[in-house]
Structure 1
Amino acid sequence: MSSDKPLPFIYQFAAGAVAGVSEVRDSPYPLDVVKTRVQLQTGKGTGEDAYSGMVDCLRKIVRNEGFSRLYRGITAPILMEAPKRATKFAANDEWGKFYRRVFGVAKMNQSLSVLTGATAGATEAFVVVPFELVKIRLQDRAQAHKYNGMLDCVRKIVATEGPLTLYQGLESTIWRHVLWNAGYFGSIFQIRSLMPKPADKKGQITTDMVSGAIGGTVGTVLNTPMDVVKSRIQNSPKVPGRPPKYNWAWPALTTVMKEEGFAALYKGFVPKVLRLGPGGGILLVVFTGVMDFFRRMRGD
């Protein structure tokens, strides 16, 4: 995503890893727990055991389960974040080079930015699926009592449902990441082109923060429906002889919309966008900054 001279893959990967750790450190994890709880809830959300929204969910989790429950399952995303973001940015740059060669284009344009981001998202999805599944199972109120932590969760899933279950929801995860990354990187290209060219480092940081935050918001608008069905697919334990209610992404979308209405496809949107909007800005600022550091270190 840097506009300067490209660096080898290893530098892109390292910069993405640093950016990912910075983003997860600065983004409030409890919002992710709330997002998952609201997404997994079917129906309107009435009664003491249901959530009517983000604030109600936060309040009931703290009151009924304790403050520490807001950080349940955080080990999985901490371990996931570095390889996830490293893969995202490195794949985006590498796919960008590939598409420019294929289409004979000297510089990135809007269409290639969207295509490259979508392909990078599909690549990233293969890395994150097992971590996401474990995180979802630990965050869910109904299943959390089954597991004593991340490693215990992995062990029990493999023992009772088989090792391939760790990749349950791969298809919906691919769709989720294709849509988010296409919106994210495509928006960044467009916003950068519309903003005044930065005159100094402070201006560059401002441009990256604004374009990254808008990109994160656009990506969230595009991919939240797939995130809802992904959460439900991954939270459906395999039971012999009983097909899961949610299995493939597009049929699951139809089921949710038919039973709960179109608005249900955006369950958890508010906590999700509050985390990933600013988080998208942080990601881009840190990634660009680390890449610039590597260039200075190499004398480029």
Structure 2
Amino acid sequence: MRGASSDGPSTRDLLCNAAAGASAGAIAATFVCPLDVIKTRLQVYGLPNITSSGRRSTRGLIFSSMQHIIENEGCRGLYRGLSPTILALLPNWAVYFTVYSKLKDLLESSENGEEQLSFGANMAAASGAGAATAITTNPLWVVKTRLQTQGMKTGVVPYRSVPSALLRISREEGIRGLYSGLLPALAGVSHVAIQFPAYERIKYYLAKKGNTTVDQLSAGNVAIASSLSKVLASTMTYPHEVVRSRLQEQGHAMKGVKQYGGMVDCIRQVLHKEGVPGFYRGCATNLLRTTPAAVITFTTYEMIQRFLHRLVPSEAKPSPDTPRHSLR
């Protein structure tokens, strides 16, 4: 789908993208926070003794994990890390969708107005936006991971709030602490490099099948495209999330005690001690969390963005043949 103009997205378009992305991310994060807490703890520690039987179904593990958290920490425990998650997601999706749209417009201008941006160009735009977002928000994801797991450690002074956690980490561990897990987070750019091109292609196929444009796709079709692309990307790139969570969490330990010497050492240890299944610990829980989160995020994003484009007057009246700028 084309941009708002041949010169790329206007200030109005960029602001609409940022506002819609931030709003959609916050709504999705609140909805799936309990599953996010369980997923993070499974990645870092596992929950080996919370079920009564030896055989654990995914649903049983999730429910027993929730029950375990509620019994020991109350309902508040299910929402540990929600504040930094929202604080991270506001700039996360705002930066991502804005940079992604801008890069796509730049790449579209170099592809001589093709109807659909090539898969490779889509991957480049998604990767660039993902890298910018990871670097911008990494400190907040470190805080989020530690707040979600700190109730499982003894002998460690807990963080009182997001600001106090940021101050303590910077004081005790320096910049390296705030950016722990950045390397696997950057490796995780492969996730969006798969998800977004797949999302675009599925939307384009659904629009073509329905004899419409991607701007006019129904919320149901957007939900189908977002869920399928998310399942594909999550399954293919999940191991990096396990490595990232473990590296981010380990700094919240007794001074000088670190289990992993870095990303390569973490991969080696997990592979040696747990084998390949260790890299997929919590994957089923993650899919149950991320798939509805993706549906909520993308569908909400598209609907809010369309609403904002109707609400906010354009800077210059586009020609009748030029559709409004949208996440394509």
Q: Which TM bucket (shorter chain)?
A: 0.7 to 0.9
Sort the Cα spacing of 1:151 and 1:173 in 2 relative to 1 into closer, same or farther, 3 A. Answer: same
Query: Is the CA contact (8 Å cut-off) linking 1:92 and 1:117 kept in structure 2?
Result: yes
Tell me which of 115, 118, 122 is aligned to 2:131. 122
43, 48, 62: which one pairs with 1:39?
A: 43
Per-residue deviation, residues 259-299 of structure 1 (Å, max 9, x unmatched): 10111111111222122112212222222223323433325
Which fold has the larger relative contact order, with Cα–Cα distance below 8 Å and residues 6 or more apart in sequence? 2
- Describe how 1:116-195 pairs up with structure 2 within 5 A: 116-140=125-149, 141-142=152-153, 146-176=158-188, 178-195=189-206
Q: Distance in 2 between matches of 1:199 and 1:250?
A: 48
Paired residue type of 2:226: G
- Deviates further, 65-74 or 6-15: 6-15
SS at match of 1:182: helix
C-alpha contact (below 8 Å) 1:216/1:278 kept by paired residues: no
Question: Bigger CA drift: 75-84 or 89-98?
Answer: 89-98
Q: Which of 52, 60, 66 in structure 1 is aligned with 2:68?
A: 60
What residue in structure 1 maps to residue 326 of structure 2?
none
Q: CA deviation at 1:77?
A: 0.8
Q: Is the 8 A contact 2:3 2:105 kept in 1?
A: no
- Higher Rg: 2
Structure 1 equivalent of residue 295 of structure 2 = 281
Note the aligned Cα RMSD (angstroms). Answer: 3.0
- Does structure 2 retain, via aligned residues, the 8 Å contact 1:171–1:248? no
Q: Aligned equivalents of 1:226 and 1:134: distance in 2?
A: 18
Shift of the 229–292 alpha-carbon distance from structure 1 to 2, 3 Å rule, reads same
- Corresponding pairs, count: 295
Q: 1:197 aligns with which of 210, 218, 230?
A: 210
Which of 188, 199, 220 is matched with 1:206 structurally?
Answer: 220
Are the counterparts in 1 of residues 271 and 278 from structure 2 also a CA contact under 8 Å? yes
1:221-249 CA-to-partner distances (Å, cap 9, x unmatched) read: 12321110000001122889958433443
Pick which of 98-107 and 5-14 moved more.
98-107
Residue pairs, 1:77-96, within 5 angstroms? 77-96=85-104
**Alpha carbons of structure 1 residues 48 and 274: separation in structure 2 relative to 1, 3 Å:** closer
Distance 1:203 1:101, change over 3 A: closer
Shift of 1:158: 2.2
CA distance in 1, matches of 2:221, 2:4: 19
Q: Which amino acid in structure 1 is aligned with residue 128 of structure 2?
A: T
Amino acid at match of 1:194: Y
Matching residue of 1:97: 105
Q: Contact 1:36/1:139 (CA < 8 Å) preserved in 2? A: yes
**Counterpart of 1:5?**
4
**Residue identity in the other structure for 2:17:** Q
Distance 1:241 1:274, change over 3 A: closer
Structure-1 residue corresponding to 2:322:
none
Percent identity between matched residues is 23
Structure 1 position 157, deviation (Å): 1.6
Q: 1:70 to 1:91 in 2, by over 3 A?
A: same
Deviates more, 1:148-157 or 1:71-80: 148-157
**Per-residue CA distance 1:99-145 (angstroms, 9 max, x = gap):** 33456563412222223212221111012211110011111121775
Stretch deviating more after TM superposition (204-213 or 3-12) = 3-12
CA contact (8 A) 2:50 2:65 kept: no
Are the structure 2 counterparts of residues 114 and 251 from structure 1 closer, same or farther at C-alpha, using a change threshold of 3 Å?
Answer: farther
Tell me the secondary structure at the aligned position of residue 237 of structure 1: coil
Which residue of structure 2 lines up, in the alignment, with residue 14 of structure 1? 19
Q: CA deviation at 1:89?
A: 0.9
Q: Match for 2:21: what amino acid?
A: G
Alignment gaps of 5+ in structure 2: 319-328
Instruction: Report how far residue 219 of structure 1 moved.
Output: 2.2
Q: 8 Å contact 1:198–1:204 — kept in the other structure?
A: no
1:164-186, Cα deviation, whole Å (9 max, x unpaired): 4111111111112x122112212
> What stretches of structure 1 of length at least 5 have no aligned partner?
none
Q: Is the 8 A contact 1:73 1:149 kept in 2?
A: no
